[in-house]
Amino acid sequence: MFVIITYDVDEKRVAKVCKKLRAYLDWTQNSVFEGEITKGKLIKCLRELELLTSDSDSIYVYKVENPKHIVKEVMGQDRSFDKFMF
């Protein structure tokens, strides 16, 4: 399945959450990740995030069953961070 995950977490936890999500998905913009992932890996990822976050943090998961129905348009500069990583 294709997912988009966004997060708003305390500044102390941003780096850990970002690192964890980068292990599973593509970093497309600050606090936004997307990509193909299996249901099992998604469950594992979310459990790991649960251990890193607190009740005051927010994580949104958008599940797309058929990514062919998504049209992604980028206005301005495409800031897909993974393009700049080795």
Each residue of 29-55: pLDDT tens digit?
Answer: 899 999 999 999 999 999 999 999 999
DSSP states of 36-70 as a string? E--HHHHHHHHHHHHHH--TT-EEEEEEES-GGG-
pLDDT at 79: 66
pLDDT at 84: 47
Give the domains, in start order, of the chain with CATH numbers: 2-67 (3.30.70.240)
pLDDT at 14: 95
Each residue of 17-31: pLDDT tens digit?
Answer: 999 999 999 999 899
pTM given for the model: 0.82
Residue 79 structure tokens: 């800031």
Alpha-carbon 12 to chain mean position: 18
